[in-house]
Chain A
């Protein structure tokens, strides 16, 4: 069964802390994505990666960075957490498809609270 695993379901951090959100997929998918989800706003794309060591900015990359050193792992980094980054973070993966995302497989989400 396909699986996308996010390492932390709930995190509480303080303003200014560095935060790592880890995501691992076991489907050998080329594409991986980080979204944040806020009430009334749907999902917004932060960063995506279509290959190892490749990364592209999404719609809201400010305040975030990513790392993809291995095909199965895509990490989201908040260099200095701020309260407006309190949100649900969702990782997803998909099979490579000619510049299309295709069907996305999501993890269970990481709910981050920044105090």
Chain B
């Protein structure tokens, strides 16, 4: 069974709007990461948040982590057409196991 599940599965917004994607997981984690994947390409690491952190920023990205609810959110502010991609959360529980969710497909309309 999947550890991380993203919500929504797909999201379509206008350029300039904010995009929020959520991730829920089932067991305790060491850290949670977000990755981006352009169609047909490999994944690119966006941000890592440790289990003892609650919020992290990187450029237009803001990630929150609520370990009591076992959930995380990724906010992309002022989205651009180039942000169109699939976004995956990945939870690390130790033992070299990083478990990926099925992803959220984001489409940003110009």
Contacts and interface: CB of A to CB of B under 8 A. Distances in A.
A binds B: yes
Interface of A: 4, 31, 33, 35, 40-45, 48, 50, 56, 58, 90, 92, 99-109, 111
B93 to A, nearest CB: 9
A42 B97 contact: no
Interface in B85-110: 88, 90, 92, 94-103
Given A33-B96, A102-B48, 10 more contacts: A41-B2, A42-B101, A42-B103, A43-B88, A50-B96, A90-B42, A90-B43, A99-B94, A100-B30, A106-B35
22 contacts: A4-B42, A41-B102, A42-B2, A42-B4, A42-B101, A43-B43, A43-B90, A43-B100, A45-B98, A45-B99, A58-B97, A92-B43, A99-B94, A100-B94, A100-B96, A101-B92, A103-B33, A104-B33, A104-B90, A106-B43, A108-B42, A111-B40
A42 B86 CA distance: 11
B44 interface: yes
A101 B97 contact: yes
Contacts of A43: 43, 88, 90, 100
Given A42-B2, A42-B88, A101 B98 contact: yes
Contacts of A100: 30-31, 92, 94, 96
Contacts, number: 64
A5 to B, nearest CB: 10
B48 A106 contact: no
User: What is the interface residue range for chain B against chain A?
Assistant: 20 to 34
B26 to A, nearest CB: 14
